[in-house]
Chain A
Amino acid sequence: MERHFERELEDLKGNLVTMGSLVDGQLGSACRALFEGDTARAREVMDRDREVDSFDTLIDRKCMDILALAQPVAVDLRLLMSSLAINSQLERIGDIAVNIAERAEPLVAHREFLLSTRLSEMANIARIMVRDSLDSFIHGEASLASRVLVSDDVVDRLDGGLFRSLVAEMKVRHDRIEAAAHILILSRHLERLADHATNIAEDVIFIVEAKLVKHNAGEGIRP
């Protein structure tokens, strides 16, 4: 019974890792589509979102099955709850990838302006945060997760700076108002992306701490 449960948890983790990889790929494609003005790639991202959604449903179901059948308590319950939380975060990150891809087409004609802003810098940092938070989950590395939390401030500051510089730009370049509005919205999406990466990192730290408790509790205490 014990080993079966452990195997179920391993399967669950495997699903989360696969979903994470898928979502990371979506983000990469979405950003490429946006900054390279590649509308075909943007459409691929939008189409692939249903795969992300399928994983979300699958993982929710698996968590529920494990909860119903294994009825875990204490540390194992904590692991399961964190898995549910990470699943949600990944699904939302997937949605943000779609949001980014959707802005590729309207900005195709404004690439020069787009690339002159700090948006791509922000996108890179946010993407690295997502990747690091996923890596920290795969390897159970709390220190990497902590570093993700620190990056969140950088993204918030970039978001603020971008807002101010775009408003100033809009006032002198009226022909860029619409493009600037799109870029402002994208900035918000990236800021939320960083937030989700931070949430995953926090969940990982929670899980690692739970495992430490489990490890320290020792074998003899288990019923």
Chain B
Amino acid sequence: MEIEIGDAIVDLLALQQPVATDLRFILAALKINNDLERIGDHAVNIAESALKYAGMEPVKPFVDMPKMAQVTKAMLRDSIDAFIHADSAKARSVLISDDTIDDLNRKIVGELVALMRAEPVLIEQALDLIRVSRNLERVADLSTNIAEEVVFVAEAHVVKHHAEEKSPPQTRDAGPTTA
């Protein structure tokens, strides 16, 4: 499906020769296509770890991991919704959630490393869970990328790489392809 979308984008560019907002939209779609494909890969990684984990003795009851999964799924859903509805405000709200995920991941990995030291018999389970946590963190990151592309399309303003500028700029950026 990623290839189909990529091909469709090339066709659009060649045949319609869009400019300005449309061009930004199409190039954003190109990047989002790529991000979605990578999210798919991370989903597969999580599933692989789940399979391995299911075959072993379970570890301590989950508290943080389900929360992390829930927030990540919401971020993904919101970033795609923001794209579909060209909702820049919603996209910015996704960017803010990323810190929560980073904190949760650090906490979970820290606890799992401590668990491995305390109960070495659980090393393999813990490593699977670490893998899941890290893959969730990557999905959240990629959702943030999608949200950044949405902001770019709507405002012609590049948010990415500027973690401190998560609120709208005071003056409009005059991008090269504004109409």
**A interface, CB within 8 angstroms of B:** 50, 53-54, 56-57, 60-61, 63-65, 67-68, 71, 73-74, 77-78, 81, 84, 88, 167, 170-171, 174, 177-178, 181, 184-185, 188
Contact = CB atoms under 8 A, between A and B. Distances in A.
A158 to B, nearest CB: 18
Given A68-B23, A181-B116, A88 B31 contact: yes
Nearest to A185: B134
Size range of the chain B interface in the assembly: 20 to 34
Given A64-B177, A167-B124, A170-B120, A53 B161 contact: yes
Given A84-B27, A167-B124, A177-B116, 9 more contacts: A57-B161, A60-B27, A61-B176, A64-B27, A67-B23, A88-B31, A178-B113, A181-B113, A185-B134
Contact of B24 (A57, A64, A88): A64
A84 B33 CA distance: 13
Given A68-B19, A177-B120, A77 B177 contact: no
B13 A67 contact: yes
Contacts of A188: 134
A179 to B, nearest CB: 10
A188 B135 CA distance: 11
7 contacts: A53-B160, A60-B27, A61-B176, A71-B17, A74-B14, A170-B116, A177-B117
Going nearest first, the 3 A-B pairs with the smallest beta carbon separation are A53-B161, A71-B17, A73-B14
Interface of B, secondary structure class, is helix
Given A68-B176, A88-B31, A77 B10 contact: yes
Contacts of B124: 167
A56 B161 contact: yes
Nearest to A56: B161
Contacts of A64: 23-24, 27, 176-177
A81 B10 contact: yes
A68 B20 contact: yes
B101 interface: no
Interface of A, secondary structure class, is helix
Given A57-B158, A77-B10, A177-B123, A65 B116 contact: no
A50 B176 CA distance: 22
Contacts of B175: 61
Contacts of B177: 64-65, 68
Interface string B110-123: 00010011001001
Nearest to B24: A64
A167 B113 contact: no
Contacts of B116: 170, 177, 181
A91 B111 CA distance: 31
B176 A174 contact: no
Contacts of B20: 68
A170 B117 CA distance: 9
Interface string B17-51: 10110011001001100100000000000000000
B69 interface: no
Contacts of B27: 60, 63-64, 67, 84
B132 interface: no
A78 B6 CA distance: 11
Contact of A170 (B34, B123, B130, B158): B123
Contacts of A53: 160-161
A43 to B, nearest CB: 18
A184 B117 contact: no
A183 B21 CA distance: 45
A60 B109 CA distance: 35
